Chain A
Amino acid sequence: MSNVKAAISVLWCLFAVVSGSYYFVLTNDVQNLEKELAQINRDIEKDIRDIHILEADWSELNNPERLKTLAAQYISLDFIKPEQIINYSALPLDGEVIGPSSMFAKNSKDLRRLVSSER
């Protein structure tokens, strides 16, 4: 009987040691993972901060005054004039020659309908 008791005690001790060890290892793993998570979060925060600063920088770089100066310096673009804006329906059809002699638009009911519907 005493042997059985001793065996049970030994088993309990063994169980306590094993479960304690497992708990210890598990806790350790969790702590390591938390450290890793904290580091990742800090990295993300740093990236967000960098992006935030870069967004402000991008906004400053896109200042219309600056873009206008650069456009004048490097490309020959000017402000859009009203006469440069053309309706799709006013574009010549395939093979059609537009010019002062061409009265296509006046004779084309479809084109006129399209133009009026655009308005």
Chain B
Amino acid sequence: MVGFGLSKKNRGVTYVPGQEIYISSGRFGWEPEDAAVSVCHKRILLVVATFLLIYAVIIWKIFNVCLVDGIQLHREGQSYYRPKKGITFPVHRANIVDRNGVIVATNLPTVNLFANPHKVTNPKEVAEKLAMIFTDTSFEDFLIRLTRNAKFVYLHRNVTPQQQAMVNALGYPELEFLPSEVRVYPQKELLSHVLGNTDVDNEGIAGLEKSLNDRLNSSTKDLRLTIDLGVQYAVRDELIQAKEKFMAERATAIVMNINTSEIIALSSVPDYDLNKRDFKDKDIKFNFATLGVYEAGSVFKVFNTAMGLDSGKIKITDSFDATKPLKMGRHKITDFRVPAKWLTVGETLIHSSNIASAQLALKVGKKIQIQFFKNIGLFDKIENLEIYERGRPLHQSEKRWQDDTVATCAFGYGISATPMHIITAFSSILNGGLYTPPTLVQEAHNRKTRRVISHQTSMDMRKLLRDVVIYGSAKKANIDGYEIAGKTGTANKLDENGRYIKGKNITSFVSAFPITNPQYALMVIIDSPKPLKETYGFVTSGWNAVPTGANIIKRIAPQLGVKPNFDVDTQRENILKNLNKKEEKS
């Protein structure tokens, strides 16, 4: 650079920028002797300062990009390379699994197709092409949605990966996808009444899905049920067969662990495929097991007898006069095919005598009867049962509970309860006398057990009910080896107005096995069975509910690990029989 405005001695010498500052005085600064030189110095300083500032900004920016931005992005999580400290579970609603861990309800990740109709330039063309991809939605439906005056419309929910690829291939940028989840039930109709369902927003609308909605949404930990899927299938399969065979309107069954009140299986047919979400037919959605309040008939004689024996007012050796109908005011209590004689307590159950049962109840009295029914849970909704659909028993108010009510309740009329009430109460009678509220969920901890009858009464009841199967109305359930005890019940069906429907019955069979050490209770209810040739025109429980119950027990007992009780000789005979059969087959 040529020095401009420098002193004469320094003219013609080349300097680097800034060097001239030192030339005039030999020290930092310059002589203000020459105004032009001073201006030049100032300009040079300005340039240097500007460059320094630019360098500083660049350094600061580099520093920011390398360090500060990285930390910032890490914090805000906006970068694609956001470091993830943990793993996010792919879905937000917990699985429901059976007691062995088999999934019965789960959420699957999916996408929903949506659009902003204002951005769609050619709705007809888009609707036409979408209708070709989504065959379950019509062209008109798509067109209506695409021409709606809105900024956001769902075009199709739960798009499959193939459909998503096809939509993307159409090349319309206005069609977008939103990540979502869909509730799927891999076992279809197998647990329909237990699980219930969810709506499109994955909120429970029935069954356990509704009652445990908060639990399922707040944690992704599996919700483990007490249901055993294998047993559930066997029960449902037998119910379907029974419903078809007896041309019944409905068939229901519950299997319960008699000691813990855990529900092992609960099925009511007809049922429905949960994945189809077709709720038009309300009848198939009706969960009779927990919601069906009905007059159970003679199965109440189990409670009546237990009440009498436990009260101390009745001895097992007592007899009752069943030679003639019992008059209660204007009404007469009669028996169906019961020998007209004095009946012991055991015979009362074996022959299912209404007359003798009513006498027993009248001897015990109103006060004890009401208290006993309260104790075994027949006056309230089932305590703590997780399912949303729970029926409340129907009965007379305590003020109107007169002798005729005492007498009719003895054989299961004048009081209605759900099958769940009955099997829970039945379990408490046979398990040693302890009532435990039933549960469908293994993590239920708020159940309180209480004593309802003495251990001795329970032991007596086991013997009496075993006799009903050996000698009484439940003979068809006397399966060798499983030592079943139980009680049948046939009651007239009531219509919606509370009047009895002529010719229609609801038959019940409540049982426990093996009675020497009861482990499981089973209740079967057949709604309006028809008389068949093989039932000799009868529609009572012993001809339909009992054989159905026996078939169920035959199938589920090996699954539940209940060993048949045969002596050694019988077992060895069985070995030979099985070997012979095998030889014949081969």
Q: Which residues of A contact B (CB under 8 A)?
A: 23-24, 27-28, 31, 34-35, 37-38, 41-42, 44-45, 48-49, 52-53, 55-60, 62-65, 68, 79-87, 89-92, 98-100, 102, 105-106, 111-112, 115, 118-119
Contacts and interface: CB of A to CB of B under 8 A. Distances in A.
B572 A59 contact: no
Contacts of A56: 103, 106, 108, 184, 186
B359 interface: no
16 contacts: A28-B66, A31-B70, A31-B81, A34-B83, A41-B86, A41-B87, A53-B109, A55-B103, A55-B106, A56-B186, A64-B190, A65-B233, A80-B558, A85-B481, A91-B575, A115-B568
Contacts of B74: 34
Nearest to A53: B108
B576 A82 contact: no
B565 interface: yes
A86 to B, nearest CB: 5
A45 B186 contact: no
| Shortest 10 CB-CB contacts between residues of A and residues of B | A64-B233, A34-B83, A90-B571, A60-B186, A49-B90, A82-B564, A59-B186, A59-B103, A41-B84, A83-B574
Contact of A87 (B89, B554, B563): B563
A59 B96 CA distance: 12
Contact of A48 (B87, B190, B481): B87
A105 B553 CA distance: 29
A82 B568 contact: no
Interface string B206-248: 0000000000000000000000011001100100000000000
A84 B569 CA distance: 14
Contacts of B90: 45, 48-49, 52
Contacts of A31: 70, 81
Contact of A85 (B230, B516, B563, B567): B563
A19 B81 CA distance: 26
Given A38-B81, A52-B91, A82-B554, A62 B481 contact: no
Contact of A90 (B102, B190, B572): B572
A115 to B, nearest CB: 5
A42 B367 CA distance: 68
Contacts of A79: 554-555, 558
B480 interface: yes
Contacts of B91: 52
B87 A27 contact: no
A82 B482 contact: yes
A96 to B, nearest CB: 10
Contacts of B234: 64
Q: Main SS of the interface on chain A?
A: helix
B575 A98 contact: yes
Given A56-B108, A82-B557, A90-B571, A38 B564 contact: no
B577 interface: yes
A27 B67 contact: yes
B481 A27 contact: no
Given A24-B66, A106-B569, A85 B564 contact: yes
Interface residues of B, number: 55
Nearest to B231: A64
A86 B103 CA distance: 33
B187 A63 contact: yes
Contacts of A80: 558
Interface string B538-568: 0000000000000000110110000111111
B61 interface: no
Contacts of A62: 102
Given A31-B81, A34-B81, A83-B577, 15 more contacts: A52-B109, A56-B186, A59-B103, A59-B186, A59-B187, A63-B190, A64-B190, A79-B555, A80-B558, A83-B578, A86-B571, A98-B572, A100-B576, A105-B568, A112-B568
B82 interface: yes
Contacts of B104: 59
Given A38-B82, A98-B576, A119-B565, A81 B516 contact: no
Contacts of A44: 87
B567 A115 contact: yes
Interface in B71-93: 74, 81-84, 86-91
A90 B103 contact: no
A86 B81 CA distance: 64
Contacts of B190: 63-65
A44 to B, nearest CB: 5
Contacts of B577: 83
Interface in B150-176: none
B199 to A, nearest CB: 20
B479 interface: yes
Interface string B246-271: 00000000000000000000000000
Contacts of A58: 103
A17 to B, nearest CB: 12
